Amino acid sequence: MAANKVYLGVIGVGGVGTAFLSQLARLPNAPALVLLARSTQTLTAPAPAYAPAIPPSDWACAAASPSINKSGPMTPQEIVSYLSAAPGRSVLVDNTSDPALASSYPLFLRAGISIVTPNKKGFSSDLSLWKDIFSAAAAGSALVYHESTVGAGLPVISTLRDLVATGDEVTRIEGVFSGTLSFLFNTFAPVSGSSDAQWSQVVAQAKQLGYTEPDPRDDLNGMDVARKLTILARIAGVDVQSPTSFPVESLIPAELASLPSTAEGIEQFMARLPEFDGQMSAIKADAEKNGKVVRYVGSIDVGKKEVKVGLQQFDKDSAIAGLKGSDNIISFYTKRYGANPLIVQGAGAGGDVTAMGVSADLIKVVERLSKI
């Protein structure tokens, strides 16, 4: 048994999962992929040798190979049992957004299985789960890396953790945390020139370009931003109970919020959204009257332990107002950095960049585990 050999289980082969497997295939000294699970099927390398491994670049063909075991979906406990029996340390990469799987992270961690994931649910749900995840990691001598839960591949979480770990005093965090909402407001209320586009037209354009979720209300309700703020606030030392425990401004007209999340309901929402264009035009006009632009931001006041998400007006020469396309920007105000914040900016969404964050986390975990 090679004590420093690392075995890998991967759950989820959607957009991020597929991009991750492509990147994994090109990583030097990559861990052996011994479990690959999707909604309908689980592939596993046969025990006790846990070989041959599943080739990440050709996993679909491996499903037809007689040397790879095939089964239906496995429960978290079954996956724990399988990975725990591997002849070395194991890592689970969760590329889903499944809240049930995220709530099972402590089960994996107590068994010594490290976690790498872009899944926000485990880190932004009830505070008790957050605490359980990290206490379980300590108990199982396992590692937890989740850089891509905030800002995709941008070094947001690692930057904040470094600030905190080195004793800097983080006073405030502020930024645009949604690539979708960044695109919407950069298009609807640009800094230079004027836009005659109506809000509903911009939302329709973003949906057509694939910037929004299938149901744009999943972006417009602000909860994705709220989850990211919850994670950062907790790392900064603010014990936020849940993403619904602080003010989150929804951009969904109240009259349309109760439409069903079905194809028909989404179609109704898009058809009726123009009825409310006047409300957003008035918000934009109010900002323009003040010589500013409106943006959808999240902010954390660490000292006051206050978190909020919603619309704010910004000077046209500010970094937030000057964002382009669907970029994110996160500003860390700290004692060391003084009046000029440490700024992380760039593409904060997309399968490839999100997978890059996951791959980078996996490299760090494998390096640490290989030395144990």
Name the nearest CA neighbour of 6 among 122, 93, 123: 93
Closest CA to 369 of 46, 90, 32, 176: 90
Per-residue confidence (pLDDT) for residue 349, from 0 to 100: 81
Q: What is the pLDDT of residue 286?
A: 96
pLDDT higher than 90, residue 371: no
User: pLDDT tens, 97-138?
Assistant: 999 999 999 999 999 999 999 999 999 999 999 999 999 999
Q: Percent of the chain beyond pLDDT 90?
A: 88
Sequence-separated (6 or more) residues with CB below 8 Å from residue 68: 43, 44, 45, 46, 52, 54, 62
Q: Which residues have C-beta within 8 Å of that of residue 219, sequence separation ≥ 6?
A: 178, 180, 181, 212, 213
- Looking at residue 348, its pLDDT comes to 82
Backbone angles phi, psi at 166, to 5 degrees: -90, 5
Closest CA to 177 of 146, 199, 156: 156
Q: How far is CA 269 from CA 95, 199, 206, 344, 371, in A?
A: 29, 13, 15, 34, 54
- How does residue 367 score in pLDDT terms, banded at 50, 70 and 90? very high
Return d(Cα 233, Cα 145) in angstroms, integer.
17
Q: Is the pLDDT of residue 254 over 90?
A: yes
- pLDDT over 70 percentage in the chain: 99
pLDDT value at 351 more than 90: no
Residue-wise pLDDT for 256-313, tens only, equals 999 999 999 999 999 999 999 999 999 999 999 999 999 999 999 999 999 999 999 9
Q: What is the 3-state secondary structure (H, E, C) of 153-213?
A: CCCHHHHHHHHHHCCCCEEEEEEECCHHHHHHHHHHCCCCCCCCCCHHHHHHHHHHCCCCC
- pLDDT tops 70 at residue 213: yes
pLDDT at 24 over 70: yes
Residue 2 pLDDT > 50 = no
Amino acid 3: pLDDT: 47
Which of residues 372 and 50 earns the better pLDDT score?
50
pLDDT at site 195: 75
The yes-or-no verdict on residue 315 having pLDDT over 80 is yes
Tell me the pTM. Answer: 0.94
Task: Name the catalytic one among 228, 289, 292, 316.
Answer: 228
Task: Give, for 313, the enclosing helix (H) or strand (E).
Answer: strand 306-315
Q: Is the pLDDT of residue 1 over 70?
A: no
Q: What's the whole-number mean pLDDT along residues 10-15?
A: 94
The per-residue pLDDT for 211 is 87
CB 88 within 8 A of CB 7: yes
Residue-averaged pLDDT of the chain: 94
- Catalytic-residue membership of 121: no
Structural domains for the chain: 6-152+352-369 (3.40.50.720), 156-348 (3.30.360.10)
Average pLDDT, integer, range 153-178:
97
